[in-house]
Amino acid sequence: MLHHTLKISLVAAACGLAFATTANAEEVTTERHQAEITTVAEGLNFPWGLAFLPNGDALITEKSGTLRRVGTDGVISTPISGVPEVVYKSQGGLLDVALDPNFAENEYVYLSYSEADPAGGPGNSTAVARGKLVGNNLQEVEVIFRGAPKYESGAHFGSRLVFSPEGYLFVTLGDRYSAMDDAQTLDNHHGKVVRIWPDGSVPEDNPFVGQDDALPEIWSYGHRNVQGAAIHPDTGKLWTVEHGPKGGDEINIPEAGANYGWPVATYGVDYDGSIISDKTHVEGTVQPHYYWVPSIATSNMIFYTGSEFPAWQGDLLVGALKGSQVARLDLEGDRVMHEETLFAEAISGRIRDIEQGPDGAIYVITDDRNGQFIRISNADD
């Protein structure tokens, strides 16, 4: 059933806020719940990352280099100042956003983005900066991580930011596409997950600390393009989801020092159908915990823990660029027991990020020039 609930908010220019949006609500039947999909805001320019402030407002990155605040009423702010300059090129730009676990005390916001070589060279890489959010400004901004080496490419930057219960910051990275073989060596950050402290320092118990020809930030390697990450609410372990090539999107549970196979082992082929590797398993590498053939073009993922959808509690929800869908994985412990495709016909646009809001609803942003910020709530009778 389609419910047309038109909401238009006009905001005076004197308030410094952009035009908020039209909202339409649509009910969708799923295996366990009726869900209502409502467009909270639109007009975002290729939004990429989403994080919620304590008051319920959302911080949303736009790939072109803009960070905005979106209110619960759908009002979109003018750009937040102080954001680092980004390389806006192909898949590069302003990427993820995350709040410090102690944000209420320290006001730190973390941003991942594609950064030009500060020395003026031709390359770029994924970087992470943090700053204090004061009003509509980021202050005391400092770069806490720079991927190495700087490499001339517009592809495969990763990148999600997620904090562990112990306070470590995990940063997921991509193999930079044409440098895919680097994912198997430890003298670079390509195709790696790294673990650092929030100030950028390296934990002493990282697996490659003190090892010659290995970068100490590296936690795991052999990844392709990891654009999703979440901490399991019961075990506290990091889970990631990464793009395969044509086939072979993977969920992994990265362990310290482990090799996840790319590109020597994969369940996919190249985009032109050619073989990247004829092996799906190589000794010394870890098999994916779960994978998709064909690909769904995974983005971010969450473990659902809210009360809005009680029958989904503990499930893993994975956003996808292909088919405008969310994959709901029914878990028993770590085992995937069942997969359900959600919202494929109700959401128009590639799902770039998925998050659980403070209200227990599910929120997604769509990857488009007229990107949408969408709320998914319970519509059970």
Domain containing residue 330: CATH number:
2.120.10.30
Task: Return mean pLDDT, the chain.
Answer: 93
The whole-number average pLDDT for the span 287-311 is: 97
* pLDDT beyond 90 at 323: no
Let me know if residue 97 belongs to a domain: yes
- 258-281 pLDDT, tens per residue? 999 999 999 999 999 999 999 999
* pLDDT beyond 60 at 10: no
Residue-level pLDDT at 272: 93
Q: Pick from 171, 228, 233, 225: which is nearest to 196 by CA?
A: 171
Q: Pick from 65, 95, 74: which is nearest to 7 by CA?
A: 74
Q: Give the model's confidence band at 147: pLDDT under 50 very low, under 70 low, under 90 confident, else very high.
A: very high
Q: Which two tokens stand for residue 238?
A: 């990091």
Please provide the DSSP assignment of 71-129 as one string: -TT-PBBPPPBTPPP---STT-SEEEEEE-TTHHHH-EEEEEEEEE-TTS-S-EEEEEE
Let me know if residue 199 belongs to a domain: yes
Verify cis geometry, omega within 30 degrees of 0, for the bond prior to 79: no
Let me know if residue 191 belongs to a domain: yes
Residue-level pLDDT at 293: 97
Where in the sequence is the domain holding 58, given as residue range(s)? Answer: 2-25+41-378
Burial class (CB in 10 A: 0-12, 13-18, 19+), 182: buried
- Supply the residues annotated as catalytic: 156
* pLDDT beyond 80 at 12: no
**Sequence letter at residue 45:** N
* pLDDT beyond 60 at 11: no
- Decide if 131 contacts 97 (C-beta within 8 A): no
The whole-number average pLDDT for the span 350-365 is: 97
Let me know if residue 366 belongs to a domain: yes
The whole-number average pLDDT for the span 214-241 is: 98
Let me know if residue 46 belongs to a domain: yes
What Cα–Cα distance (Å) separates residue 359 from each residue in 179, 198, 233, 311, 363? 42, 27, 17, 16, 10
Our count of domains for the chain comes to 1
Phi–psi pair at 29, nearest 5 degrees:
-90, 130
Rounded to an integer, what distance in angstroms lies between the CA atom of residue 338 and that of residue 361?
A: 22
The whole-number average pLDDT for the span 52-77 is: 96
Rounded to an integer, what distance in angstroms lies between the CA atom of residue 31 and that of residue 218?
A: 40
